[in-house]
Amino acid sequence: MNHFARIAAIVSIWVFVIFAQIDILKLSVLIPVYNWNLQRLFNELNEQLVELDWDWEVLCLDDGSAEYTTENKSLARNLGFEFHYRENRGRSVTRNELAEWASGDWFLFLDCDSGLVKGNFLKKYIESTNRAEVVYGGTVYQADFPGRDFALHWNYGKKKEALDSGVRNKDPFRSFKTNNFLVSREVFSRFKLDESIRTYGYEDLMWAEVLKVGGVSILHIDNPVLHRGLNSTEKFLRNTSEAVVNLWKLHDSGKLHSPTPLLKCFFKLRKLRLEWLVRWLFVAFHKVILGNLRSSSPWLPFFALFKLSLLSQLAKKASAFGSK
């Protein structure tokens, strides 16, 4: 072996020793899927994943979709992502199953209708791993008016959900959503999502409460995803109704330890004996209220009245049957 070959061999051995001692972490990107074409999200993820110093994997679980399953499976295979399909079992079950399959040290949960608005989205999350065990990046909505059919969801999202981290960190557990968050494997192994919540709404709030009781903090940062999947007003009203029913069930069962702003408002009205007035106003003016909510310029106080009226009806029915 000549002199240069001997030097090269020594350098190679030292490089191997140095890198063998580096514990390379792994990121698992976990995507629950339901009736959504994943091409744009896959392409955005792929552009950023190849730049990471970490190992990574992308796991998708389709929760009983009727659309795009063949296309999504093919897209995933071409990019080296995993794609699984099974019958519908609910949002919490899907996320828990994805976590069970994941092999990463950190889990990044993304809703399938998300868009990556920052070129350093993944790197920014990785940089936050030394600051907290649960990190929420936030949500933004498109700037352009989406049209009358989607105006209610768009208006509500921009004013109530698209909040910067400074606002969200003032009430970190209440502001948490499951559409875009990073969590360590260790934390998620101890605190799974509540699989008894099978219908739409408030599973994120319940998980945040579990974390709070368990002494796990949530850090909010400005690393949002674009919410691409705007619902039509009719679907948004149906989803909201389902969520309010879920909220009352969680309260009535004693699972919900701290009331939401909607519940607080309702209980104040009940204390003032004005609960009946909410129901009367909605019944008397429901055509005007629903007409406005279906318009191009929905008024959010009408939307609040819609939810309060439904909550009041549920409470009245529960009282009739001897519940809380």
Q: How far, in Å, CA of 136 to CA of 3, rounded?
A: 55
Say which DSSP state 133 is in.
Answer: S
Using CA of residue 12, residue 17, residue 20, residue 24, what is the dihedral sign? negative
Q: Which pLDDT score is estimated for 5?
A: 52
Neighbours of 283 (CB within 10 A): 10
Q: Which CATH class is domain 19-138+177-227?
A: alpha beta
pLDDT tens digit sequence for 50-67: 999 999 999 999 999 999
Model pTM score: 0.89
Q: How far, in Å, CA of 317 to CA of 275, rounded?
A: 13
The crossing angle, in degrees rounded to 10, of helices 233-252 and 300-320 is 40
H or E element at residue 262: helix 261-271
Beta bridge partners of 182: 108, 135
Helix (H, G, I), strand (E, B) or coil at 181: strand
Residue 30 reports pLDDT greater than 50: yes
Half-sphere exposure of residue 193, counting CA atoms within 13 Å on the CB side?
Answer: 23
Using CA of residue 96, residue 99, residue 105, residue 107, what is the dihedral sign? negative
* Residue 210: band (very low, low, confident or very high) from pLDDT cuts 50, 70, 90: very high
255-269 mean pLDDT:
90
* Gyration radius from the chain CA atoms: 23
Contact 247, 311 (CB under 8 A): yes
Q: Which pLDDT score is estimated for 294?
A: 98
Neighbours of 38 (CB within 10 A): 24
Q: How far, in Å, CA of 92 to CA of 199, rounded?
A: 10
Higher pLDDT, 247 or 7: 247
Domain boundaries defined on the chain? 19-138+177-227, 235-320
Q: What b/e sequence results for 68-97 when a residue is b if at least 16 CB atoms lie within 10 Å of its CB, and e otherwise?
A: beeebbebbeeeebbbbeeeeebbbbbbbb
pLDDT tens digit sequence for 141-194: 999 999 999 999 999 999 999 999 999 999 999 999 999 999 999 999 999 998
Q: Which pLDDT score is estimated for 293?
A: 98
Residue 21 reports pLDDT greater than 50: no
Q: Which pLDDT score is estimated for 168?
A: 97
Pairing state of beta strands 180-184 and 134-136?
A: antiparallel
Q: For the chain, what is the mean pLDDT?
A: 91
Q: Which pLDDT score is estimated for 258?
A: 81
Residue 6 reports pLDDT greater than 80: no
Q: How far, in Å, CA of 230 to CA of 142, rounded?
A: 10
pLDDT tens digit sequence for 286-299: 999 999 999 999 99
Contact 139, 222 (CB under 8 A): no
Place of tokens 């330890």: 257
3-state helix, strand, coil in the chain (%, to 5): 50, 15, 35
